[in-house]
Chains A and B, each alone.
Chain A
Amino acid sequence: CDQGLDLVPPGEVSELIYWQQEKDARLAVNGIYVELDGQLMVKELDAVTDIGFRAPSGPGSLHDVSMGSFDPVNAAIGSQWDRYYRGVQRANNVLTNIGRIEQGDPELLSRYEAEARFLRAFFYTQLSSLWGDVPLIVEPLDVTAQVGRTSKEDVVDFVITELDQIIQGNQLPLSYSQDIGRATMGAALALKARVAYRNERYAVARDAAKAVMDLGIYELYPNYEELFHYAGQNSSEVIFDRQYTVGGDTYNAFSFSAASIGGGSVVEPIHNLFLKYGYKGPQNPNDPFENIDPRWSYTSYYTDQPIGSSTFNSLPDSPTPDRVRSTEFSTVHGYNLKKWVDYEADRSNPNTGSINMILIRYADVLLMYAESKIELNEIDESVYEAINSVRQRPTVEMPPITAGKTQEELRSIIRDERAVELAFEGLRLFDMNRWRIGEDKIGTVEGLYYLNETTGQWETITSGLNRNFRSDRDYLWPIPQNEIEINDEITQNPNY
């Protein structure tokens, strides 16, 4: 009777016949990369910090996180949790099954295994940074399994141990000729530096960062603006990134940016970021943007900057679609995001934006190295050198930090340096959490700094939106409510 009723899907592979050849491992490893951080965790995450703003949309977006009015059902938070654990599952699946492959180049299989381990370490770095104690799952589980939380310390230990194994086993190459974008030795070292640094294990961070510097294969890309354009992709400053390409994964290149180029102003820089930029020459009282750190003009669209074939103008009397709050798509506070917008390249088809999202770059490693040394109070020439090399990139050329600073002065300098160098790269939240300065975002959001013709005063544009931050709670994200409800073993973070 059953004849003909045994129909299997024409486009999928049963797990019973998987894990036989080398190719099976390669494909399953490729499938892990799919879950890497993308636009949201790179461009959008800074909008929940004191330097950016996330446009209002339906409930459950990062706007609510940005405003400080979020709870365990927040969908944006929940979807990140889900994605990291999907990545963990995919990596665990490879690590549990790769041994079943009998035929294949052992060296290649060892590299695949290391890639899976690296990616899992990356996911746990993010998980532990955002949620603190998290379930540490290292093998595929049955759907009925319930796993409780492992202390953040232990998760970090696990990540560092895993990375050490890869590094010591020399399982990953320094670079790839074809598959640029796969995990490398440098990425493993830099990730180790990052996870240690985020957890204030500064000695480990210092050594790992130094090891990256000593590899001698990374250098700062001369053009700061182009580093975030197509031109800067796969440059020697990029240590690890989320890759995109036309025909594969793409995104709308302008959707986060200005209305006049077809964007929806999803994310915008705010006054607080502007204030962190220094000046390379004398300040002009009639033009706050004159002589300012060039990285500001590479990061933000502000009035009188060229945009597309016209000029950006978000002032309240602007005739352009960029006028503040003139449409659903226009900026709420007057600035739009310019970093990651390669207008000339994407103008013909913004729907297929494919600039890779940089997850770890060399400037970050240099600044991590410097800060670790500062925190360890090992202030020496190498600290100044690391900071100044970032400040004096050919297209930035800010005056160097001169020697003789105290630890406290340097601490303040490096914090601002990180903010302006790494704005809208998904790192500010982790810095603020580590520095415990979450309260800095409290208050009315202020935007474009402009000369109000009526009052004759320099003013900022505000929308009246007030942001909140609860220091007894908001340094960690809430465990998603649906996880709490189903997983009896898990507990919520405090005060949610």
Chain B
Amino acid sequence: IQLLTTYSTKSHTRSAISEAFGVHASYLIEAAPFQQRADVTVTGTVSDPTGEPIPGATISLPGTTIGTATDLDGKYSLTVPEGSEIVVSFIGFESQRISIGDRSIINVTLIEATSSLDEVVVIGFGTQKRANVTGAVSTVAGDDIARRPVLNTAAALQGTTPGLSIQNNGGAPGNESTSIRIRGVGTLNNANPLVLIDGVEQSLSTVEPTNIETITVLKDAASSAIYGSRAANGVILVTTKRGAASGVSINYNNFVGWQNPNFFPEPTDPVTWMRLENEAQANVGANPTYSETYIENVAAGTNPLQYPFADYEGGIFNPNAFQQRHSLSLSSGSDAGRIFASINYADTDGILQNFNNKQVTMRINSDLYASDKLTIKTNLMYRNRAFSGPGFTGQRITQALLHINRNIVMEYPDGTYDLVSGQWNARAMVQEGETSRISDDVFGQLGFAYEINDALSLEGNVTLNTTSTDGFIFQNGLSGMRNYLTGELVNVGGWFATSKLTEGQENLRELSQRLYLNYDQTFGLHSIQGTAGYEEIYNQYKEIAASRDNFFSNDLRDINAGDIQNQTTGGYSEEWRLRSFFGRANYSYDDRYMFQANVRYDGSSRFGEGNRWGIFPSFSAGWRISEENFMSTGDTFSNLRLRGSWGQLGNQRIGLYRYLNTYNLNNGYQFNDNLVPGTAITRAGNPDITWETTTMSNIGLDMGFLDDRIEVIAEYFYKYTDDILIELPIPRTIGYSPPVQNAAAVSNRGWEVAINYNSIPAPDNGFQYTIGLNFSDVVNRIEDLKGTGPFFPDKFTVWTEGESINSLRGLQSPGIYRTQEDLDNYPATIFPSVTIGDIIYEDLNGDGVISQSLFPAGDQYIMGNEDPRYEFGVRFSASYKGFDFSMFWQGVLRQQHSLDGALMEGPNYTNFIPTTMAREAFHPERNPTGSWPMVRSGNSANLMESDFWLQNTSYLRLKNFQLGYTIPQNVVANLRVYISGENMLTFTETELFDPETPRGRSQFFPHSRLFSGGVSVGF
């Protein structure tokens, strides 16, 4: 009997049973040569490794309803087509897939299933049995990522792991912006976690979801200290797939989908819109903007060129934007080595017109067994991304939609436009010009693993990772355009005044090498492991840009076709190097007590001599209480383990060369139209700067019940980041930008709980299900700013001691002035013109005026923060016969955002009018109960940052659902079809923007939802 074992690091969220039944889209399936076959009867006995027969084990033919179960003596008999493949399974044992070949008697020995505690978890520079992991580590199986019909790995990770917070900020196709935070924001600088793909820092977006074997999230200091100065914000380890141990399998899957805007603010109807604009004028005693004739004509749709009302949404959105992905992979292995090869293609249209992204990724991961001791590993990845769009960003186009008056002709029959202020027209912006960004990513890794003896092995690799990007933005000039109706020249200003081409090239090249020695030996009940190694990273970045304008025509888009008079060039380059030594030691006794220590010694070119080297240690311990004798009597816990860790991490992502005082050469001036070079010291250097240090403690409790069918993992952590580099303000009279200093401290404390439940496996592909729940919370607090502050990094945010990094400042408002009495009660106003219908602001400092600085100097207070609190994810998956169903809910129980800009400006500045405003705008007669301020042309008194505009953005969202069916057939090994939806259902209070929006301006590439369907086939 040939046993096929597949290397798999299962996530604790995944049901071993459902996998055994082939419910998951399997990527590795034994190729079964197919021919029209006669039926044969196979008999045999199923027993456990001790030879005891197993009654009730199921023997089935995958993809069919053919199946049986063993009798009390473990015997079975089943009639199947000749040459087919049967699956033998039983609760608590690893299922086996067996090719019957020409045999008629097949005895099967089932091996007890490894519990999730025996899973192997990928950790820094090695792997470890889950049972021995003492840090806070979560894993996600590649299959769970691959199943989601999304193109971005980061988006697929959302909600999978407690403590991992992923915010989808939307974005143009291929340029989606997601912010990833592990256990809160620990620094005032770059808080992105370290993402390592096959050990090398890369963006999560560079790895195809279908190529992922497993993802490990290292959350505490113990697990991530081996990455030292880069690990303070947590580490995400992505391991890509490798070839099968033997055999050949080919897998193809695809999906096609249709995207639509999600939560884009709904505009009110044109008539209400125009009436509200007129009201805004009337309220300041001005003439109405729209005559009754105009309104009637718009309502009737008569003569739209004379009475235009632009439908920008219709003019720029691309309904049912198409998306498709195809991926084909091959996995194979033999005594000589193994190989995994794949090619992926994805093509996505934007939900705004003319945006598109195509990407092709090829990967070959190979292992060559040069001898029984030496394996040569080669990983090669090439990716090409081609983004295209109009001459403006989606953000700019959305800004135009939200800000520009609509009484213009969006587009005339001859393709010309009306332009507001000579340049604004969302339709023209989405139609004109061209943007393209073509990137080539190449990743090449050559490595080896050499087994010196049973205990010692040496591993190492050299990696080159490069990205080069060609950027191209051509903005069309529209000068010379004539008005369609009058034939007069149109005044064209701003960006449409002249054509302009900006081209840029960016090159990132990172060369890294690492070498490490592993030791692994067991002496009786004592088990010892150790790792010692060296790593070096050299990173170079260079960009160069050039532009010309006033092109011969809009169609000649070569830079040489532009005018040399206003050409510009520019460039920038930088480099950094990190040199590190690291080590780890593990000791465990009887799988009951385990200890681990890590240390990393990092040297970075970012700091001056004497401050360059940092040492980052960590210690952790675990106690598997359930293995103790005193526990063995009770049956409550199948597993009970207590873990604890402490360690220190560094953050080196703080900008380069900040320790030097330098003359900046970019301070040129011009005399008599001639450029002259100039220099200045613009920023004071600080030779004393050094690492930011994060100290983190973690306590974890793992519990398993009912043979681990219920798993509970709970963690509590406290993370304190000290020596945060911050530009502590210096007197402005000194005349430099302030130097960075190691001065601030931030803490994050929080807890995480993950609970997983697997139903009792049902025989004959009966109904079974899995539920996974995770829940977490982090409280962020700025502990120390050396007595300085508050600082205002942007117009909303305030950094002050004792408050969250994401604190919001604003005025306090009890509501709007509705009566003269209100005016008497709140006499202090922001402008003298404030009157009934405007927002009341509290005069917190009682000085008789409303001023926009923080109390007590002014009347702003800290009105809250934008930290998401109580984040959760719920996964449910079930299968019955050939059907499978899964859904994934994700949400935040407490979250608030502040509204900003266009959505609250409305007709005051001839901006976009959302239905909410049309419904809520206060008017003493028309709408005396309205909750929004009165519209008043030009009035800005209500646009101040205040708690009046705070929106509750807590939400519950059906992030994904999927319904699949595995078609019974015997042509190929596996055939599954499915339909799926992303973001199809959301429960939230706000109706003005997507609750995942970073800030309420809605002025970015809109969020989308996706409906898709797909097929996966295994050969």
- Closest residue of chain B to A136, judged by CB? B733
Report the bound CA distance from A6 to B656 in whole Å.
Answer: 12
In B542-596, the 8 Å CB interface with A consists of: 549-550, 565-568, 572-577, 579
Q: Which of A378-386, A399-407, A415-423, A458-466 contacts B (4 or more CB under 8 A)?
A: A458-466
Report the bound CA distance from A310 to B491 in whole Å.
Answer: 8
| Contact present for A178 and B656 (CB under 8 Å) | no
For B668, the chain A residues whose CB sits under 8 A away are: 30, 34, 248
For B287, the chain A residues whose CB sits under 8 A away are: 316-317
- Closest residue of chain B to A254, judged by CB? B493
Please classify how large the interface on chain A is, using the bins under 10, 10 to 19, 20 to 34, 35 or more: 35 or more
* Chain B interface SS verdict (over half): loop
| Contact present for B674 and A245 (CB under 8 Å) | yes
For B190, the chain A residues whose CB sits under 8 A away are: none
> Which of A4, A86, A260, A326 contacts B735, CB < 8 Å?
A86
| Contact present for A349 and B937 (CB under 8 Å) | no
> Which of B567, B577, B657, B733 contacts A4, CB < 8 Å?
B577
* Residue of B663, B734, B937 with most partner-chain A CB within 10 A: B734
Q: Mark A1-41, 1 if CB is under 8 A from B, else 0.
A: 11011111111111100100000100111111110000000
> Which of A6, A18, A144 contacts B605, CB < 8 Å?
A6
Q: Does B731 contact A (CB under 8 A)?
A: yes
Q: A73-B858, A352-B566 are in contact. Are A263 and B734 (CB under 8 A)?
A: no
Report the bound CA distance from A240 to B731 in whole Å.
Answer: 30
- Distance between B226 CB and nearest chain A CB, rounded to angstroms: 19
* Chain A interface SS verdict (over half): loop
For A1, the chain B residues whose CB sits under 8 A away are: 579, 603, 613
Q: Does A332 contact B (CB under 8 A)?
A: yes
For B405, the chain A residues whose CB sits under 8 A away are: 326-327
Report the bound CA distance from A73 to B736 in whole Å.
Answer: 19
Q: Does A286 contact B (CB under 8 A)?
A: no
For A481, the chain B residues whose CB sits under 8 A away are: 853, 857
| Contact present for A349 and B550 (CB under 8 Å) | yes
For B421, the chain A residues whose CB sits under 8 A away are: 259-260, 262-264, 321, 327, 329
| Contact present for B612 and A2 (CB under 8 Å) | yes
| Contact present for B736 and A465 (CB under 8 Å) | no
Q: A249-B669, A260-B491, A486-B788 are in contact. Are A348 and B498 (CB under 8 A)?
A: yes
| Contact present for A263 and B493 (CB under 8 Å) | yes
Q: Does B285 contact A (CB under 8 A)?
A: yes
Report the bound CA distance from A310 to B490 in whole Å.
Answer: 9
Report the bound CA distance from A326 to B281 in whole Å.
Answer: 9
For B657, the chain A residues whose CB sits under 8 A away are: 8-9, 12
Q: A249-B670, A264-B421 are in contact. Are A34 and B684 (CB under 8 A)?
A: no
Q: Does B675 contact A (CB under 8 A)?
A: yes
For the complex of A and B, 3 pairs with smallest distance between CB atoms: A262-B493, A89-B735, A262-B422
Q: Does B833 contact A (CB under 8 A)?
A: yes
Q: A58-B795, A69-B831, A73-B858 are in contact. Are A137 and B733 (CB under 8 A)?
A: yes
> Which of B575, B664, B729 contacts A10, CB < 8 Å?
B575
| Contact present for A146 and B731 (CB under 8 Å) | yes
| Contact present for A309 and B491 (CB under 8 Å) | yes
> Which of B420, B497, B498, B830 contacts A69, CB < 8 Å?
B830
- Closest residue of chain B to A63, judged by CB? B940
For A321, the chain B residues whose CB sits under 8 A away are: 420-421
> Which of B495, B497, B675 contacts A347, CB < 8 Å?
B497
Q: Does B636 contact A (CB under 8 A)?
A: no
| Contact present for B422 and A143 (CB under 8 Å) | no
> Which of A28, A350, A466 contacts B494, CB < 8 Å?
A350
| Contact present for A262 and B497 (CB under 8 Å) | yes
> Which of B732, B832, B911 contacts A466, CB < 8 Å?
B832
> Which of B493, B666, B670, B853 contacts A71, CB < 8 Å?
B853
| Contact present for A15 and B662 (CB under 8 Å) | yes
Report the bound CA distance from A144 to B741 in whole Å.
Answer: 12
| Contact present for B550 and A34 (CB under 8 Å) | no
| Contact present for A247 and B284 (CB under 8 Å) | no
Q: Mark A74-114, 1 if CB is under 8 A from B, else 0.
A: 00001001100111111011000000000000000000000
- Closest residue of chain B to A1, judged by CB? B603
Q: Does B649 contact A (CB under 8 A)?
A: no
For A18, the chain B residues whose CB sits under 8 A away are: 663, 679
Q: A248-B669, A310-B488, A328-B403 are in contact. Are A179 and B733 (CB under 8 A)?
A: no
Report the bound CA distance from A92 to B568 in whole Å.
Answer: 32
For A354, the chain B residues whose CB sits under 8 A away are: 673
Q: Does B52 contact A (CB under 8 A)?
A: no
Q: Does A413 contact B (CB under 8 A)?
A: no
| Contact present for A31 and B404 (CB under 8 Å) | no
Q: Mark A123-137, 1 if CB is under 8 A from B, else 0.
A: 000000000000101
In A211-248, the 8 Å CB interface with B consists of: 234, 243-248
In B460-481, the 8 Å CB interface with A consists of: 479
Q: A261-B422, A351-B494 are in contact. Are A326 and B669 (CB under 8 A)?
A: no
| Contact present for A71 and B858 (CB under 8 Å) | yes
For B672, the chain A residues whose CB sits under 8 A away are: 176, 178-181, 234, 243
Q: Does A468 contact B (CB under 8 A)?
A: yes
- Closest residue of chain A to B610, judged by CB? A2
Q: Does A67 contact B (CB under 8 A)?
A: yes
For B177, the chain A residues whose CB sits under 8 A away are: none
